[in-house]
Amino acid sequence: MSPRVFGRPGVRPEGPELLPVFPPEYTAAAVLRTTPFHRRTEALCEAGNWRRWSGFLAASSYELHHDREYWAIRNSAGLIDVSPLHKYRIQGVDAERLLDRLVTRNVAKCAIHQVLYTPWCDEAGKVMDDGTLCRLADDVFRLTSALPNLRWLLDNARGLNVQIEDVSDALAALALQGPNARAILTEAAGGVADDLGYFRLTEGAIGGAPVQITRTGYTGDLGYEIWTEPQHALTLWDALMAAGRAHRVVPAGLLALDVARVEAGLILIEVDYVPSHQAVIEARKSSPYEIGMGWTVKLDKPGFVGRDALMAERARGPEWEFKGLEVSWDAMESLYGAVGLPPQLPSEGWRTSVPVYAGNRQVGYATSGCWSPLLKKYIALAHLQTPHSATGTHLSMEITVEHHRKKAAARVVEPQFFNPDRKRSNPGRADRS
Amino acid sequence: MSAHACDAIVIGGGHNGLVTAAYLARAGKKVIVFEKRHVLGGAAVTEEIYPGFKYSVCSYVVSLLRPEIIRELDLPRHGLRILPLESTFTPLPNDDYLVRWADHDQTRRELYRHSPRDADAYDDFGRLMYQLAVAVKPILAMIPPDPTSMSPKDLLGFLKLGKHFRGLGHAQFHALHKLMTMSSADLLDEWFETEALKATMSASGIIGTLLGPRSPGTAYVLLHHYMGEIDGAMRAWGFAKGGTGAVSESIAAAAREHGAEIRTEAGVSEVIVRHGRAVGVALESGDEYRAPVVVSALDPKRTFLSLVAEQHLPGDFVRDIKRFRIRGSSGKVNLSLGELPDFTAKPGVGPLHQGAISISPSFDYLERAYDDAKYGEFSTRPFMDVIIPSMIDPEMAPPGKHVMSIFVQYAPSDLRGGWDEAKREAFGDAVVDTLAQYAPNLPGAILHRQVLSPWDIERSMGLTAGNIFHGELSLQQLFCMRPAVGWADYTTPLDGYFQAGSGTHPGGGVTGASGRLAAMKILGGKL
Amino acid sequence: MSAGFDTVVIGGGHNGLVTAAYLAKAGQGVLVVERRELLGGAATTEEIFPGYRVDTGAHRLGGLSAQVVADLGLTGHGLEVLAADPTVFTPVGNGIPLTLWRDPRETAESIRRISRPDAEAWVPFTELVGKAASFLQAAWTTTPPDVTGSDLGDLLAGAKLGLKLRGLGRKDMAEVMRILPMSIYELLDEWFESDLVRGTVAASAIGGLCQGPMSGGTVYTFLHHHVGAGAGVIRPTERVRGGVGQLSEAIASACRQYGAEVRTGAPVERILVDDGAAKGVVIAGGEEVRAERVVSSADPRRTFVHLLPPDAIGPDFARKIDHVRFRGVCAKVHLGLAGLPDFTCLPGAGPHLEGVISISPSLEYLERAYDPVKYGAISDAPYLELSIPSLADPGVAPAGKHLASIVMQYAPFSLRDGAWDEAARNSIGDLVVRTLARYAPNIEAVVEGRHVMTPLDLQERFGLTEGNIYHGEMTLDQLLFMRPVPGAARYRAPVKGLYLCGAGTHPGGGVTGMPGLNAARGILKD
C-alpha cells in the first residue's frame, strides 16, 4: 500500500533538494477557520486583505482602501461580519447567580431581552474581558466576549446548578451599522425592530431566516447586530444586501470599524488594555476604573469576583484614567510646517503605544488613534495618570515628523468623540435604555 | 614518547567539548581537542551508516541550542541551518489523533476538537510556563554557587537567588514550587482532560530519566519547552540541516577558525597528574600532551573514575561521583525506508510527516512502558518520539527514499540478564511492531535498520550506561548538586582539571550551555 | 438558635480537640461539634466485635507532640503511651527475618545475620535520618512562613538557627537538601544491599501515599514519619493503652476541664457565612450555632466544598482546593484472633509480635504492590502493616484472645472496574488473610472475626475525603506553605473568621496533635 497524497494534488519536481509540495495546510485557509458568511465575503473581498480574528479569517477591508466602508458606517450603512465573537449560552436556575458573581454589572436588574455591556474581573479586580450579556429568558443568558472564557465560566460555576455551552459555532452574526440601518431592517425584517430600544433584543425573520436582533454595535452609531444559525447565514446576508441596496449598504471590514470605534471612544481588548490573565507583569493589568468602565462596577452588589479589591481601589481612587486626546491641528501644522510639509495624517487607525507628556514628563500613553474623517480631528485614546486626566487638561502626544520625534499639543477630552443622538433614540419614542 | 605543550586540552569532541574549545580559542588560548571516534559530535553526530542514508545517530533534534552560542560563535556563518519542526502528531489507537502545530490558532482549533476547556487551559498554561521560564532563566545561565561554602562569592550567589525568588509574585512562586516537586501527570491533570495532550506533553518530562510520568520530579522538565521563547528563539525545536552532526561541525568550524586544533581518532587514556595537579593527558597511542588546563567533556563517571586514578581525588568526592545516578533509559532506532509511513489515523502524506510524531496516547500507556523498565525489561509498547529527517532535509536520503529517527523509551541500561545482540534486535522488533500498530505499511517499507540499546550507545559513543544526559535529570542532580555538591562550578578537586559535559549544570540536550559556562569559569568569569 | 460562643470547632478528631482545649484554656467559650456519637475522628477506638476494642482508624501514634501532652496535662486525663520494642518485624517465607529495635545497635546485630555491610551501614544511616528529621522538626513547630512575603528572611534565619542548634553543618544541610526530593529507592540503594532491609525501611515511606518507593519525593514522606522518633529509632511504633481513642478521650477531658463544651451526634450541615465572614454553623436539623469564629478540623475538600456555600470562596482559591490530591490507597482489616499468628520463619510467640509486623519482603515487592493502583486496581500482593495491640495491652481483647489491626496498601479509592461493594470488601479481607497465611499459615485457623474497611468505608465512617488518612497526600507539593493550599496555609481560610486545624494543614497527617496546636497558636495571636 503506498501513501496517498491528500488534498490538492502536489507536484514533486525532480531533484533531491526539493521537498514534495503539500496541500496548503499552512495557508491561512487551513490554519484558520472561515465564518458562515465566507462564501459571500470572499467573493466581495477584492482587496484580498484578510486578518486573524479569534482563529477566523476576517476581512480587513473589502476594497483596496477602507474609506468607502467607513463612510458607509457614518452616512448610510455598513454590514460587518462579526461571527468570530465568542458566545456562551448559560442556562439554569443559578444562571443569574453565576453571572452576577462573574460580571461587575447587576444582572438581577437585567430584564428579559435586555442586553448589558459589562466587563468582568479576576479576584484582584483587574479586567479579564468585556462583552455583552443578554437575558434571553428568565434563566437563560447569552454572553459574548472577545476572548475564550469557557474555562473561567466553568470555574466560577462550581457548585452551581447551571449549564454552560459554547455556542460560538452555533450562531453567525452580522453587524448592520449606520444611519440607514433601521430603514434596511424595516424592509428586511418587516418592522419588528422599528421600535427596538437601545441595548434590547427582539426576534423575527429576515429573508425567511429566523433571527435575533439586538440594538448593539461597535461603531457608536445607530446599529443592530443580527444573530442567526449558520445554515441561515447566506440567506440573511443576501436578504440584508438586497434590502440595503436602495439604502446604500456596503460590506465593511475591520479597518473601517476600527476608525468608527475610536471615534466612538470604544475600548478594544488586547489593544487598549491587556486582559489580566494574559498580562505577564502586574503593571500591564487594569481595573475597570482605569479603563473607563467604572460606571459598570456595582459595588452595592454582594460578592462578585474582584469586589473587595475594587472597593479598596475606589476608596483610594484609581491611578489611571482612560480618556480621549484631541491633537491640536495648529500644533500639527506648525510641526510639519517646520519641515515644509502639510500635516501627514494616518489614514488607518493605529494600535501602537505612544507616549503622552505633561511638559517633559511622561504621564501616560495613547493606545489607539486615527484621523477622524468625520470630525476632521486627529484623535487618540489614552491612559493618563490621574492628576493629568481631567477633561480639558493640556498635554502633548509624541508624533514622528519626518523621522524625528516631536511633541504635539493635545487636549484631554471625554473619549466619545462622536456620539450622535440616533445611536440611542427612537423616532417618536422616549429613550428607554 | 613526546610531550607537546598548549594552553588547554579538551577531552571529548562532543558538542559541549567543542563549545568550550571554541570559546577558549576565541579568548586567544591555544587549544587541542581530542576525540576518540573518527567523527566529531559525540552523541550529536550524523553518520552515513548505509550508502545514501544519513542518520542523526543519537541526538536527533536541536533542542534549545543556546541562542547566545549561535550568536557569539557566529554559527550560521559556519554552516548551521536549523529547519523548524512544524508540528507534533500523536496518533491514537482509536484512529483519532492529536496535533499541535506551530500556529497558535491552528493548535487551538485542534485542541478544541478534543476539549473546548483544554483549548482555553492550553493558553493559560503556556502563559504561566512563560512567566516561570522568565523566573528560572537566570539560574540556567549562572555558574552554580556552592551551598557548603562560606565564601562571599558563593553566599552572594545564593543571596541573589533568594532575592530573585522573593521578587516573584505569590502565584508564580507557588507554581514554581509545584513544578519542582510534582509529577508531570499530576500537574497536567490539574490543567487538562485530554489524555493524548497530557501524555504527549508529559513525555518531555520523562526523556532521559528512569521515571514514569506519575513520579514526582518529572514536572520540572515541562518548563524547558518554554525556555526558548524568552530568548527570542521561538520555535526552538528544530532539525539541523545535515543532521545533528552539522551542529557539531559548525561549532568545530568556529573553534578551528579561532585557532583550535581538533584531533579525531585520538582517545585519551588518562589525565596526567603531578603534585595534585592535572598537567596534561596521555593518549591511547602513548603520546602525551601537556597543558595547564585540562577539560573533560565526558560524563562524570568517565571524567573522574576512568581518566583519573582514584587516589588523586578526595574520598567524599569519589563517593559522590560513584553514587551520581546515570542509569540509561532510552534507545534509538534508525530506519531507512522505501516509502513513508501511512498512519491509519490520518492517511496519506502530509505536513505531519515533517514534524515530530509522538507515540504517547495516554498516561497509562507511558506508565506501563515504565513498569517494564523499572523491573529491568525494555518496554514492549514503548514511548517513541519519531521524526523523518528526509522530509525536512531531503539530502538525508536518496531521492524517493527516507530515513526515520526513532527515540525510544524505556530501554534500561541494567536490563535483567544484560543486553546482547539478540535482545537488542528483540527491542528493535518491539519498536517496529508498535509503530506498525499506527502505520501498518511501515514494516514492509524498511530497507535498513539500526538499533541502539543503551549498551550500544555506551560502547559506541562512550556515554556511561548509555545515559544521553550524562546523568539523570532528577532534582537532586541539578544545579549546585550536578554532578556533586561543591563541584558544580566546572572545577574539580584536581587543580587544572575542569568539567564541561552534560553532567554539569544545566545539562541535558544539545544546548551547549555546560560547555559555555565551563569556558566562562576557566576564563575567570568572562568569555 | 443557640447562644453564641467565641469559637465553634467542627469535628471532634484529635486535632479539633487539641485546638479546642488550647482555646478554652486561654479563656475562650468553645463548642466542639462532632458528627459521630464517638469522639476521636480517625483516632478512635470502637467495639467492632464484642469484647474487642478496635482502633478503627489510626492504630499507631505518629510523633505525638510532647508539648501537647504536657500543656494539656494529658497524662492526668488518663493517657498512657506504650512504646513497642522491637518496633518492626518483617517475616520472610523461608530464611532469616528482620527485626528493628529501638536501639540501632541491636538492630544492626539483627541485620548482621542477613548482610554484614548493611549491618555496618545501619547506625550511620539512622544518624542521617535523625539529622534530616530534626531539620524537619524545626519546621513542624511553626506556622509556615509566607515565603514570598517579608517573612522569608525569618524563615531562613529560623532554619539557620535550627541547624545551628542541632549541630548540623552546611555539609549536612546540603546532604539533607540532596536527599529530600529523592525516591526512597534511590536513597536506600546508596546504603543497603539486602532486599529485606530495603523493603522494611521503604515501607515507612509509602504509608497512605499513592506512590511507590521508586517515586521521587518518597524520602520526604519517610522522614516525615521519623520526626520525633527518638535517636536511632526507625519506624517507631507507639500505641495508647486502651486504644488510640483514649488519647482523644483524654484531650476531650482536658477540653471539658477548661470549660469547653463537646457535643457528639451533631453533624455540621454548613458553615454560616454572612457578608463574607463565618458566623457559626448549622447543625443537621437546622439548629444554628453562632460564634465569633469557626475552626474546621475537617479536611480541606469537606470544609471548602461541602460546608461552605459555593460563592463564599473565589474561583482561584476554589480551583486550588479542587487540585488538592487525596487518592486514598489504604484499607483496614481487623481480625479477632483465637490465637497468635505463628510465623514459619520464627515460630511461636515472642517479642517480635509486639511491634508492627511488616509484609515488605523487598522494595520491589512494594513497588509491584503499587503498580496496579495506577490503573485503578487493587494490589495482587499487598503491603501490610499488622499490629497486635492485645499483646502489650490485653484489655483490648477478651481474655485469651487477640486483636489484629491491619493497614493494607494499595486499594485505590477509585476502582476503575466495579465499585466498593460487599464483594469487593470481602475480597480485601480474603486478600489480606491469604497474604498473611504465606508467612503465618495458621492465621486462617485462628481468625474468629473479620471486619474490613475499604477506602470508601474510611470516607463514610470518618469523613475522610477519598479515604485519605492524612486529609490530603503528604507530598512535597502539598506541604508547608502549600498545605492545604497557598492562601490557607497559615491556618486562616480566605473567609473572615474561618480557620483550619486538621491534618490537611501543616505539618500534616498522623496522630501528632501538631496542626491543632499550631492552629490554636495562630488563632490566639489574631
More confident residue, B59 or A115: A115
Could you give the C-alpha distances from A22 to A30, B86, B247, B464, in angstroms and in order?
12, 13, 28, 43
Cis peptide upstream of residue A148 (ω within 30 degrees of 0): no
Average pLDDT score over chain A: 92
Query: C314, A305: Cβ pair inside 8 Å?
Result: yes
Q: Are residues C205 and C165 in the same domain?
A: yes
> Which chain A residue lies closest to B350 (C-alpha atoms)?
A22
Residues of chain C with pLDDT under 50: 1, 150, 165
% helix, strand, coil for chain C, step of 5: 40, 20, 45
User: Which domains are assigned to chain A?
Assistant: 28-82+170-263 (3.30.1360.120), 86-167 (3.30.70.1400)
Burial of C392 (0-12, 13-18, 19+ CB in 10 A): middle
pLDDT band at B228 (very low <50, low <70, confident <90, very high): low
Q: Model confidence over B233-277: pLDDT tens digits?
A: 545 578 899 999 999 999 999 999 999 999 999 999 999 999 999
pLDDT > 70: percent of chain B: 98
Beta pairing partners, C277: C274, C496
CATH 3.50.50.60 fits B3-43+242-325+470-522, yes or no: yes
Q: Are residues C273 and C204 in the same domain?
A: no
A252 pLDDT higher than 50: yes
Backbone angles phi and psi of B461, in degrees to 5: -100, -10
Q: Model confidence over A19-33: pLDDT tens digits?
A: 555 554 556 667 889
Q: Are residues C175 and C293 in the same domain?
A: no
- Mean pLDDT calculated for residue range A155-168: 95
Q: What is the pLDDT of residue C154?
A: 52
Cell reading at A125: 479586580
More confident residue, B180 or C398: C398
3-state SS, residue C8: strand
What pTM does this model have? 0.94
Q: Among C225, C249, C250, C251, which Cα is nearest to C238's?
A: C225
More confident residue, B209 or A423: A423
- For residue C395, tell me if it sits in a domain: no
Average pLDDT score over chain B: 92
Q: Are residues C194 and C279 in the same domain?
A: no
Residues 6+ apart with CB under 8 A from C350: none
Domain that holds residue C519: 2-43+66-73+243-325+470-525
Q: Are residues C161 and C206 in the same domain?
A: yes
B432 pLDDT higher than 80: yes
* Residues of C engaging A, defined by a Cβ cutoff of 8 Å: 275-276, 305, 309-311, 314-319, 322
Q: Are residues C227 and C270 in the same domain?
A: no
- For residue C156, tell me if it sits in a domain: yes
- For residue C263, tell me if it sits in a domain: yes
Residues 6+ apart with CB under 8 A from A411: A325, A326, A328, A392, A393, A394, A395
CA gap C434, C426 in Å, rounded: 12
Burial A152-169 (b: 16+ CB within 10 A, else e): bbebbbbbbebebebbbe
End-to-end CA distance of chain A: 68
Cell reading at C396: 483490648
Q: ipTM of this complex > 0.90? A: yes
Nearest residue, CB atoms, B394 vs list A2, A17, A32: A17
Residues 6+ apart with CB under 8 A from B172: B128, B131, B132, B135
Strand C2-10 and strand C288-296: pairing?
A: parallel
Residue numbers in C near A158 (CB within 8 A): 305, 310, 315, 318, 322
User: Which of C216, C237, C258 is the last residue before a domain boundary?
Assistant: C237
A8 pLDDT higher than 60: no
Q: Please report all neighbours of B, defined by 3+ CB atom pairs within 8 A.
A: A, C
Cβ atoms within 10 A of the Cβ of B93, count?
Answer: 12
CA gap C293, C272 in Å, rounded: 10
Q: Are residues C204 and C270 in the same domain?
A: no
CA gap B382, B365 in Å, rounded: 8
Q: What is the pLDDT of residue B233?
A: 56
Cβ atoms within 10 A of the Cβ of A49, count?
Answer: 17
* Residues of A engaging B, defined by a Cβ cutoff of 8 Å: 1-7, 15-20, 22-23, 25-26, 30-33, 52, 55, 148-152, 154, 166, 277-278, 280, 282
User: Which of C237, C253, C285 is the last residue before a domain boundary?
Assistant: C237
How would you list the strands of the sheet with A127-137, edge to edge?
A115-121, A127-137, A140-145, A86-91, A163-166
Q: Are residues C301 and C276 in the same domain?
A: yes
CA gap B349, C224 in Å, rounded: 55
Cell reading at A286: 487594569
Tally of structural domains, chain C:
2
Q: Model confidence over A289-332: pLDDT tens digits?
A: 999 999 999 999 988 999 999 999 999 999 999 999 999 999 99
Q: Are residues C316 and C231 in the same domain?
A: no
Interface test with A, best of B103, B124, B404 (most A CBs within 10 A): B103
Q: Are residues C160 and C199 in the same domain?
A: yes
- For residue C406, tell me if it sits in a domain: no
CA within 13 Å, CB half, C507:
26
% helix, strand, coil for chain B, step of 5: 40, 20, 40
Provide the number of CB pairs (under 8 Å) joining chain A to chain C. 28
Backbone angles phi and psi of C73, in degrees to 5: 60, 45
Residues 6+ apart with CB under 8 A from B524: none
User: Which of C204, C237, C270 is the last residue before a domain boundary?
Assistant: C237
Domain chopping of chain B, boundaries: 3-43+242-325+470-522
Q: Among C247, A123, A277, A272, which Cα is nearest to B127's?
A: A277
Q: Model confidence over B462-479: pLDDT tens digits?
A: 999 999 999 998 888 988
A38 sits in which H/E element:
helix A38-44
Nearest residue, CB atoms, B174 vs list C183, C374, C482: C482
The CA-CA-CA angle for residues C262, C504, C276, to 5°, reads 75
Could you give the C-alpha distances from B241 to B84, B225, B256, in angstroms and in order?
10, 21, 21
More confident residue, B254 or A280: B254
